[in-house]
A = this chain, B = another copy of it.
């Protein structure tokens, strides 16, 4: 039973949040500066890319979120401010400072985020005037504009909101995300910003965020490339006036489930918008000797270019699935693996005991024509399982990434 309700919303659905998205000329066209702001003091938690080459805004934001007090998020698209050295750090810091000044809050309460091309210094005149415009445009209806302003190669906005009751009070959680390529476990090139009016202990919020991103954003992959700029930030401002949620509070499991739904939805939305993707692929591995093993197996299948191109070609090439399991490093006995493919039109077990079953090629061809495909693998040697999401590899992916800068 789920204790939350999905509503039509985003980052300004929760009480006490404003947002905006404006065009500052950083990209050739379309909105490129977003601002998200809590009108009352708020706590925040964030997870960041594990890439050793991390962007300047990641460095700055890690410091700013450390004390759990966050009230605003400023984001630009069109330039990642990555591999930009000392100047990049100064620029990211300046973005936070201007926001702090305009909003009359400490600059340490501003999360700074950037996405776009790597290795080009930021056009700071445009960025700073964009932030000024974004401040002026802040509104309680601005969530959709913010969702648009954080996009790069994305073809659609990614957003969701849910409502639930915590301590007898109505609590809303709303989120937006961007991401389409350079998507890989350990924080893909994705940005996700979530706001909620729940009152929550920041330490507990951070714990929840880590736990949930591990099973959502860290289990999606478009191309196996972990970006320099990833972050997922949650702001909680307490405007719902519930008694502060702590680990073990009465409604903490309900809140966790709702937050999980929001992050899972945004993760999947990124995959559905994967660069050039024509298929949405869910891989579930069960029967593993440990959760880590199961996760390795899931990611190996999702990251195999040969598996991905097979799905693009609507080819039930289970040999490639077994091959990718074989080199994944996960513990396995090839002779007892089973694989089942399914989609809206049916399910076919194509591998049993490590070998092809006597399945009908027509049945498999029919089920692979669907957009949403599920791969169930049972390793048959343990009780652990994991699920992840990815997409196929198409001509369009190559085209997008062969010409991204031009």
Residues of A within 8 A of B (CB): 50-54, 80, 82-85, 117-120, 181-182, 184, 186, 223-228, 303-306, 309-310, 312-313, 315, 317-320, 322-327, 332, 334-335, 351, 353-356, 393-395, 397-399, 401-406
Q: How far is the CA of A356 from the CA of B404 in the complex (A)?
A: 17
Q: Are B118 and A315 in contact (CB under 8 A)?
A: no
Q: Contact check: which of B80, B355, B399, B402 meets A85 at CB < 8 Å?
A: B355
Task: Return the contact of A313 from the options B82, B312, B351, B403 (Cβ within 8 A).
Answer: B403
Is B182 in contact with A326, judged by CB distance below 8 angstroms? Answer: no
CA distance A204 to B325 in the complex (A): 34
**Residues in chain B near residue A304, CB distance under 8 A:** 224-225
**Contact indicator A322/B393 (Cβ below 8 Å):** no
Question: How far does the alpha carbon of A367 sit from the alpha carbon of B90 in the complex, in Å?
Answer: 34
A305 in contact with B401 (CB, 8 Å): yes
A119 to B52 alpha-carbon distance, docked (Å) = 40
Q: How far is the CA of A178 from the CA of B191 in the complex (A)?
A: 43
A334 contacts B223, CB within 8 Å?
Answer: no
A305 contacts B225, CB within 8 Å? Answer: yes
Interface centre among A303, A320, A327 (most CB of B within 10 A): A327
Q: Please classify the interface of chain A as helix (H, G, I), strand (E, B), loop, or mixed, using the class held by over half of its residues.
A: loop
B317 touches A404 (CB 8 A): yes
The 3 A-B pairs of least Cβ separation, nearest first, read A118-B319, A313-B402, A53-B326
Q: Which residues of B sit under 8 angstroms from A226, Cβ to Cβ?
A: 323, 326-327
* Min distance, Cβ A79 to any Cβ of chain B, angstroms: 11
A388 to chain B, nearest CB (A): 17
Please, which residues of chain B bring their CB within 8 A of the CB of A403? 313, 315
- Contacting pair A319 B51 (CB below 8 A): no
Please judge, given known A-B contacts A334-B53, A353-B85, whether A401 and B306 are in contact too, CB under 8 Å: yes
* Closest chain B CB from A279 CB (angstroms): 11
Q: What are 28 pairs between A and B in contact, CB < 8 Å?
A: A50-B327, A51-B326, A52-B332, A53-B326, A82-B323, A83-B355, A85-B335, A118-B319, A118-B322, A119-B355, A182-B306, A184-B327, A224-B224, A224-B305, A225-B320, A226-B326, A226-B327, A228-B323, A228-B326, A305-B305, A305-B401, A306-B401, A309-B402, A312-B402, A315-B404, A317-B404, A395-B395, A395-B399
* B404 A393 Cβ-Cβ under 8 A: no
A134 to chain B, nearest CB (A): 26
Q: Are A323 and B53 in contact (CB under 8 A)?
A: yes
B319 and A83 form a contact (CB under 8 A): yes
